[in-house]
Every structure is written in structure tokens, then in C-alpha cells.
Amino acid sequence: MSRVILVVDDSPTMRGMVSHALNEAGFETKEAENGKDALIKLTTMEVGGTKPDVIVTDINMPEMDGIELVREIRKLSAFKHVPVLVLTTDNTDEKKEVGRAAGATGWLVKPFDSELILKVIRKVLP
């Protein structure tokens, strides 16, 4: 059974490209448009008996941003242990500290290098 990765980004281009890179590497992907959407998708996945193995999320999104999403995920008993990788253009120390404090597992920077993403994902896979 292939591993499932939830890709959260408000830009369809970005979502498409990240998913594409992950699919090429044999991962199954699910997509969500923003934090809120991601939480809904997570709930449906839970009901359906599946769980993403890793979550990759953007920060800047409408409705609910990535930081808040991480915080919410860490509150959910079913998903609090799922590694969450942030994939964003933000690369300031302050922002990273906010991400880390919120409970993000890792911080990846856009424009992304698919090899690096894959390397990191393989590293955090439970």
C-alpha cells in the first residue's frame, strides 16, 4: 500500500506540482485548498479509515493559514503525531520559529527542489 501525503496549498499550480513530484516517487497524494479544507479532508479521511502519513502545507492561505492548521492538527488526537512539513516562500527566522512553536516537523522553502522534499519526507515517515 502506498503512503498517502496530504498537500495543502491555495495555488492549484503549486498543489499540482508538489503532487506531481510525490506521485512520480510513488506516493499517493490528497489535496486541500487551505487549512480549513485540509481539516475537513482529514476528517473525511479519518471516517474513511485512512490517514495521511505526512502533511505538506503552505503558510499563506485564505480561510485558515498553515500555522493555524498545524496548531489545529496538533490538537486532534487522530492526527497529532502526523509529521507536518511546511512548504513556503517565507524563510525568515521569526516565521520559522513560529512554525516550530506551532508544532511543524520541518520547514521547506519554495521554489522547492523535489529531491529535497522527497528526502525529507522519507526521513519523517513513521
Interface residue with other proteins, options 3, 60, 64, 68 (CB under 8 A): 60
Q: In the complex, what is the shortest distance from the CB of residue 47 to other proteins, in angstroms, rounded to a whole number? A: 21
Name the residue among 79, 84, 87 with its Cα closest to residue 124.
Answer: 84
What type of residue is 118? L
Using rule CB under 8 A, residue 85 touches other proteins: yes
d(CA 55, CA 31): 10
Nearest to other proteins of 48, 85 (CB atom):
85
Interface residue with other proteins, options 61, 66, 69, 72 (CB under 8 A): 61
Q: In the complex, what is the shortest distance from the CB of residue 82 to other proteins, in angstroms, rounded to a whole number? A: 5
Asked whether 17 and 116 are in contact (CB, 8 A), the reply is no
Q: Compute φ and ψ for 25, nearest 5 degrees.
A: -85, 5
Sketch the per residue contact string, 10 through 49, with other proteins: x for CB under 8 A, - otherwise: xxxxx-xx--xx--x-------------------------
With CB under 8 A as the rule, give the number of residues binding other proteins: 47
Using rule CB under 8 A, residue 50 touches other proteins: no
Q: In the complex, what is the shortest distance from the CB of residue 104 to other proteins, in angstroms, rounded to a whole number? A: 7
| Torsion angle defined by CA atoms of residues 117, 120, 124 and 125, in that order, rounded to the nearest 10 degrees | 50
The contacts of residue 125 (CB under 8 Å, 6+ apart) are 3, 53, 54, 83
Interface residue with other proteins, options 27, 62, 67, 68 (CB under 8 A): 62
